[in-house]
Structure 1
Amino acid sequence: MHLSARHIPIMATTFVVAMCLAACGGKKEQKPSTLAKIACDESFEYIMEQEINVYEYIYPKEDVLAYYLPENQVVDSIMAMGSVKGAVISRPLTEKEVSYLRSNKKIVHQQKIAVDALALIVNPENPVEILSKKDIAEILSGEVTRWDQVEPCKLGDIDVIFDHKESSSVKYMSDSILGGKPFGAHVSAVKSNPDVFKAVAENRNAIGIIGVSWISSDLTGRQKSVEELAEAVEKSDTTTLEFKNDVKVLKIRGNNEVTAYKPYQAYIFDGSYPLYRSVYMVSTAPGGTVTHRFYSFVTGFQGQKIIQMTGILPATVRPRMVEVE
């Protein structure tokens, strides 16, 4: 069975985070040699759930326990050098962080596993189809607060919805789009990525910022069984990506570009879609452990194929097909 600890409160220090991880959701009488504990940025939860499900199906005697946290807490958990020895974040560990771990006799492995895209979603009743990076910056900063300032329409005040106030999505938009400037008063955060989707589906004035894997059609239609996923990762074909129809995915263009793009894999791959970021996996576990074997699985062909099937771009398996309008 696969256990997940999804509702861990925000902690202020590395020590408290480590204590919380050690106390939460452990398997009773679980042999340490068959259990891996990893911490994962909440934005990548859907991706990692698929990886864990298939891994545990292929290796039924091994289990992976995942904690889904804001990114800074994920880094804290791996730096605490406790029972959590794997991490999934939107950046590599810094030289200082790696040096600290190595000074404490930890072997550090880290590798880019994917290129993720941030999708901007609106209610289907919203007539807006395209935003530029400049438009996004003006909306996030509060320079633009109403939809009729973007495009003539009858909609009212813009509600910007993030997944979590400390998420990597917030950090990306703050650093890459606003250049560190503060968000406007109309920007808020909910508790999770599904809550972003729900808020936008129910509020025609909302715009949500969410990882692209959360809006693939697989999340609303019939879910693939673990058996189907395990079979699919052995094949070299790719599948066409579609998005949910409960919300509308906006096309985005760079400030000096004419053409706008949706976050399909091929457009993420060639850089046409401008809102993208890397995803890294880190392991401090020694070889022969479940954590290191899971790290090898995710960074290998099978794990990369699973990432491809979630809608984002794997680091090593290249897309061959894209659904275009």
Structure 2
Amino acid sequence: MKKSITLTLAAAAMAVAAVSCNLNPKVGQDGSTASATSGVTIMACDETFQRIMEQEIEVFEYQYPNASILSYYIPEQACVDSLLHNRAKIAVTSRPLTDNEMTYMRSRNPRSKMIAVDAIALITNTANPLNEISVSDLGKILSGEITEWKWVEPGNNSGKIDIIFDFSGSSTVRYMTDSILDGRPFGSNVYAQNSNAKVVQTVAENKGAIGIIGVSWISSDLKNMSMTTEQLADASQKNDTTNLSFNSDIKVLAVAGKDQLPGEGKKPYQAYIYDGSYPLYRPIYMTVTGYKNATQNGFFSFVTGFAGQKLLQMTGVLPAAMHPRIVSVD
């Protein structure tokens, strides 16, 4: 199976120069050496969305063997900075670029589009009896006002609450700070694992843990899939629906929004992201720069087209251009 390449920024730039010479692609109007389906380009992606974009790159490169997307997965603001300073041609972020940022890149023909909507899932150990949590209680947990599970659910003996994030400066942390805490600081029981996979592992091994993670990292569709790249590419062309389920190593909590009563909470299935009844969601944006027929614009067209959107659907996020999947509700 062809794997995408994760590189440091300096190494990526050197690789582009080397591979471009070997491919001998066309020269664009701005002097860039690439075409929509051949050549090399660099993508800076929010590390939260790594699992999503690796699948997109894998199929794009399979369909267009002369094209290479060199990817590196870093904090969101670093993605934006890389795009602004022309160190990357593609940025994948959870926020749109500002008008000032787009104006700054005007001479490089920026294009930006929302490609999907991501849900932020709350996961606990399977031994934790809690099945639903309110946004209000989540805020109290994050701020340190609630530090034990028995204060969330009387009789819950899961003990002290440990809050598990991916990265200390991630867009997931920013979402919780802005949307749940309204700018207030976190409590002292917050831990970053520097890996989304490690968040799942830590929660699976610790009864008192609650993990906060993008839904694509807990989709059992990807966890259990043994598709070859060819099969994955074929699946991206089919106009069908499949049931979505979650990783059985952890428990996914239902979340009740501010206007929902106890028992009305929803899990992060695509239909509930679509209708807004799952309250923890955020957009995913792709922004590219460069001339129309550059490799990055070819990849942009792929991701926003039918095949790319179907691949996004398979990861558990809600594609921007497709209807929600049939869901498996438990």
Q: TM-score by structure 2 length?
A: 0.90
Secondary structure of 2:248's counterpart equals coil
One-letter amino acid of the counterpart of residue 139, structure 1: I
**Is residue 90–residue 168 contact of structure 1 (8 Å, CA) maintained in 2?**
yes
Alignment partner of 2:13 out of 19, 22, 43: 22
Secondary structure of 1:172's counterpart equals helix
Secondary structure of 1:209's counterpart equals strand
Could you say which residue in structure 2 is the equivalent of 1:12? none
Deviation at 1:2, TM superposition (A): 4.3
Could you say which residue in structure 1 is the equivalent of 2:24? none
Per-residue CA deviation, residues 254-305 of structure 1 (Å, 9 max, x unaligned), is 1220211000000000001000000000001211111110011101111111
**Is residue 12–residue 70 contact of structure 2 (8 Å, CA) maintained in 1?**
no
- Work out the CA distance in 2 between the residues paired with 1:172 and 1:67: 22
- Work out the CA distance in 2 between the residues paired with 1:26 and 1:57: 18
**Is residue 118–residue 318 contact of structure 2 (8 Å, CA) maintained in 1?**
yes
- Number of residue-to-residue matches in the alignment: 311
Deviation at 1:319, TM superposition (A): 1.6
Runs of 4+ in 1 over 3 A off after TM superposition: 18-23, 25-32
Name stretches of at least 5 consecutive residues in structure 1 with no aligned partner.
9-17
Matched, 1:92 2:83: no
Deviation at 1:119, TM superposition (A): 0.3
Secondary structure of 1:220's counterpart equals helix
**Aligned pairs for 1:118-197 within 5 A:** 118-151=120-153, 152-197=155-200
Segment of structure 1 superposing worse, 225-234 or 110-119: 225-234
Could you say which residue in structure 2 is the equivalent of 1:303? 308
Matched, 1:293 2:298: yes
Identity of aligned residues (%): 50
Could you say which residue in structure 2 is the equivalent of 1:101? 105
Superposed CA RMSD in Å reads 1.6
Per-residue CA deviation, residues 231-262 of structure 1 (Å, 9 max, x unaligned), is 11111111110101000000001122021100
**Aligned pairs for 1:218-297 within 5 A:** 218-258=221-261, 259-297=264-302
**Is residue 19–residue 40 contact of structure 2 (8 Å, CA) maintained in 1?**
no
- Work out the CA distance in 1 between the residues paired with 2:221 and 2:244: 9
Could you say which residue in structure 2 is the equivalent of 1:13? none
Secondary structure of 2:285's counterpart equals strand
Q: TM-score by structure 1 length?
A: 0.92
Name stretches of at least 5 consecutive residues in structure 2 with no aligned partner.
22-32
Could you say which residue in structure 1 is the equivalent of 2:5? 4
Per-residue CA deviation, residues 156-178 of structure 1 (Å, 9 max, x unaligned), is 11000110011000000000000
- Work out the CA distance in 1 between the residues paired with 2:214 and 2:42: 23
